[in-house]
């Protein structure tokens, strides 16, 4: 984080050679940055467009740009919609992929157990590799394309995005063969060892190696070795992060306090956590509302919101954006664990996710949205005993990554 990964990518893409690039980022403002910064080759952004009276959507636009061999900058969300057409065009185009931040490669599809059983009985076929396919032969027999409420499931299945876990839970999974279609792939992230894309690569035997960024005379470039400067970065920021250590931390004592299940089962403590957050911002720090940044699980935002800091809410999953770099007083009111369904999915494939490292990666990404990314000091209240301990251990080099 802050090591110059995007700058090194821009330097790479500005080299006067014959390479073609697809740059994938979580945010539209980063798409704009790439388009403005890459002067040696023009980048195009997929857009909704009209042609001969027909309306074409972003995926159509992406296919059009790929067929024309254009350099493309777009978002994670569009990239995750890749179809067989997308794959063919990428492969034949000879593209290099630069992926800004690890991709969401697997997630639970929110469908009831009864509906899942119905779909498995009526429309879904399990393939030899475990993927779920849509029964298009049945559609052919009926001479009608399915048009019910599970059209999204149908699209996932047709795109080879659908898998099953424990017999009744449907999972969306990014097709792993997409990464084989590019000449080269760069993933710009920190703590990759802790992220789900790493475990997903391991499941599918996708090979990867660790690179790092070097800076010489204000020019950034990638080098084929793991970074040796992480300790220097930590030593620099350690003195700039002041972590609250007082009685307000009582509410977070215990390994699972402030986890999702804690919020569900400990409703009587929501008011205490809200009062603690209010106390920290307004009394202990006496901070201005425009300098405050805080988070909790989205479903419980209203329970913890309070006067003077509500508007400073930043999603617990926020990453790869500079919008909050003025924030200097932070409250991280969650205790991160991997979704049990996803944890079970990886375990069923003999992959053990390190929960503490996963939590650390998520926490650091969130903190890095603040002024610390500009090397400015921040104040931080982390009521969760577990999360606070993990961060302190990382800062003190007691966790080796």
Q: Can you give the CATH number for the domain in which 184 is found?
A: 3.40.50
Task: Report yes or no on 400 lying in a domain.
Answer: no
Residue 131: the pLDDT is 83
Domain range enclosing 51: 5-104+178-228
Residue 401 lies inside a defined structural domain of this protein = no
**Does some domain include residue 116?**
yes
Rounded-to-integer distance, Cα 232 and Cα 395, Å? 11
Q: Is residue 342 part of a domain?
A: yes
Contact predicate 379/329, CB 8 Å: yes
Residues 257, 203, single domain; the answer is: no
Residues in the chain: 401
Same domain flag for 246 and 125: no
Pairing of strands 43-44, 95-100: unpaired
pLDDT of residue 127: 85
How many independent structural domains does the chain possess?
A: 3
Could you tell me if 254 and 202 lie in one domain?
no
Q: What sign for the dihedral angle of Cα 262, 110, 295, 368?
A: positive
Quick one: 182 and 209 in the same domain? yes
pLDDT of the residue at 400? 56
The b-or-e profile of 198-219 (16+ CB within 10 A means b, else e) is bbbbebbeeeeeebbbbeeeee
pLDDT of res. 3:
74
Same domain, 349 and 269: yes
Same-domain pairing of 252 and 198? no
> Tell me, what's the pLDDT at 19?
95
Are residues 219 and 235 located together in one domain of the fold?
A: no
pLDDT value of residue 360: 94
Residue-level pLDDT at 48: 84
- Report which of 240, 216, 197, 238 is spatially closest to residue 4, judged by C-alpha positions: 216
Q: Domain boundary at 157, 173, 189, which?
A: 173
Same domain, 257 and 141: no
Supply the pLDDT for residue 22: 98
Low-confidence ranges of the chain (pLDDT < 50): none
Please give the pLDDT value at position 51: 67
Q: 139, 158, 173: which is the final residue of a domain?
A: 173
Query: What pLDDT was estimated at residue 315?
Result: 95
pLDDT at position 169, please? 82
């Amino acid at each position: 984080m802050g090591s110059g990964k995007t700058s090194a990518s821009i330097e790479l893409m500005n080299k006067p050679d014959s390479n073609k690039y697809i740059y994938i980022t979580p945010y539209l403002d980063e798409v704009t940055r790439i388009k403005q910064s890459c002067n040696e080759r023009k980048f195009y952004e997929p857009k909704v467009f009209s042609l001969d009276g027909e309306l074409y959507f972003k995926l159509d636009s992406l296919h059009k740009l790929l067929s024309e061999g254009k350099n493309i900058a777009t978002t994670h969300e569009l990239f995750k919609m890749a179809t067989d057409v997308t794959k063919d065009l990428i492969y034949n185009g000879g593209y290099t992929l630069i992926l800004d931040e690890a991709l969401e490669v697997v997630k639970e599809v929110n469908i009831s157990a009864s509906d899942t059983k119905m779909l498995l009985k009526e429309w879904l076929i399990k393939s030899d590799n475990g993927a779920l396919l849509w029964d298009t032969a049945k559609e052919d027999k009926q001479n009608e394309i399915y048009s019910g409420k599970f059209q999204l499931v149908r699209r996932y299945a047709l795109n080879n995005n659908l898998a099953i876990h424990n017999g009744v839970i449907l999972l969306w999974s990014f097709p792993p063969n997409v990464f084989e279609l590019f000449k080269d792939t760069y993933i710009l992230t920190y703590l990759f060892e802790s992220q789900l894309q790493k475990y997903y690569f391991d499941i599918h035997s996708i090979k990867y190696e660790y690179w790092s960024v070097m800076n010489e005379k204000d020019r950034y470039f990638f080098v084929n070795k793991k970074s040796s400067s992480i300790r220097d970065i930590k030593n620099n920021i350690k003195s700039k992060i002041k972590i609250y250590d007082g009685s307000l931390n009582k509410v977070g004592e215990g390994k699972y306090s402030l986890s999702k299940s804690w919020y569900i089962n400990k409703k009587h403590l929501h008011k205490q956590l809200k009062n603690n957050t209010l106390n920290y911002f307004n009394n202990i720090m006496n901070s201005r509302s425009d300098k405050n940044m805080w988070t909790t699980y989205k479903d419980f935002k209203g329970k913890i919101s309070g006067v003077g800091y509500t508007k400073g809410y930043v999603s617990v999953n926020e990453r790869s954006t500079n919008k909050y770099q003025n924030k200097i007083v932070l409250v991280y009111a969650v205790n991160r664990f991997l979704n049990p369904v996803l944890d079970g999915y990886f375990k069923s494939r003999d992959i053990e996710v390190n929960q503490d490292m996963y939590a650390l990666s998520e926490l650091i990404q969130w903190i890095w949205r603040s002024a610390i990314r500009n090397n400015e000091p921040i104040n931080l209240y982390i009521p969760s005993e577990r999360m606070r301990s993990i961060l302190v251990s990382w800062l003190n080099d007691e966790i080796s990554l």
